[in-house]
Structure 1
Amino acid sequence: MSQLFNIVSNINKLPTPLKVRTLSMFFGRVIPFAGTSNVQIEELNQERSVLIIKNKKKVQNHIKGVHAAAMALLAESATGFLCGMNCPDDKLLLIKSMNLNYVRRAKGDLKAVAELTDEQRQQMINNDKGDISVKITVTDEDNQEPLTCEMIWAWVPKKRK
């Protein structure tokens, strides 16, 4: 497994409040932009990730909702962290495509839930290169979807042949 998987597995052994805080701080340091917007990681394992972004001033737009770019960051982070849990260390993980459709005004905090199938996980492990569309749902405090997303992640060997 990947180094990221090993680190997160150890953090996941902590009690829940400490685990959430530690995962969020870890990723905030690894990916400073995610840390700047205070993306919180509620759950992260090889099959699923759950991330939250609070509707706070630093991520708000002109109408006091979560800014569209912050919504994109949340969706990209949820899928990227999940793929990172499954991508072997000898491969480079890259976002290939982000398709975001803003369908309604978001209300309050946002939650992103991303999932990978066993087949997708095996593709990342067994194939030198490829890409997958990662299932992602973003909901607001009313459990409505303010945007629909498709995130396509690719991987290639770190060392070129």
Structure 2
Amino acid sequence: KRRVQNHIGGVHAVASLVLAESATGFLVGLNVPDDKVPVIKTAHAEYTRRAKGDMTVQAHLTDEQRERMRTEEKGDVSVPVTIHDSEGKEPIEIEMVWAWTPKRR
């Protein structure tokens, strides 16, 4: 849609970053216990080509990362995420690091 396009007709860079943050944040939020708060720590993006058309995003956690979230009081993990455009190519390489800390009482 036009509202998420940049001046060269591709998906705006920040729109694609929001996709990655949403997918990784949702995944981390599902795995962090209720007594902890997930917080984005680092977002690093390398834009390698112009994104074309619809975007899809996939984020993954390993069993080890899930276990750490359940058992460690606080910590951080790098959450692998890939974004593909309508041509099946990856126009952006992203690293999202999420942390978790205890909720304040």
Counterpart CA distance in 1 for 2:102 and 2:19 is: 26
Note the aligned Cα RMSD (angstroms).
0.9
- Give the % identical residues: 57
Look up the SS of the partner of 2:46 in the other structure.
strand
Q: CA deviation at 1:153?
A: 0.1
Matched, 1:63 2:8: yes
Counterpart CA distance in 2 for 1:57 and 1:76 is: 21
Q: Which has the higher strand share?
A: 2
- Equivalence map 1:7-156=2 (5 Å): 56-156=1-101
Q: Which has the higher helix share?
A: 1
- Which digits, 9 at most, give the CA deviation of each residue in 1:78-129, with x for residues without a partner? 1000101101111011000001000011111111100001110010010010
Counterpart CA distance in 1 for 2:10 and 2:89 is: 14
Q: Unaligned stretches of 5+ in structure 1?
A: 1-55
Q: Unaligned stretches of 5+ in structure 2?
A: none
Counterpart CA distance in 2 for 1:100 and 1:153 is: 15
- Specify which structure has the bigger relative contact order, considering alpha-carbon pairs within 8 angstroms and separated by 6 or more residues: 2
Look up the SS of the partner of 2:33 in the other structure.
coil
For 1:51, the equivalent position in structure 2 comes to none
- Which digits, 9 at most, give the CA deviation of each residue in 1:50-90, with x for residues without a partner? xxxxxx12211112221000010001111000101101111
> Runs of at least 4 residues of structure 1 off by over 2 A?
none
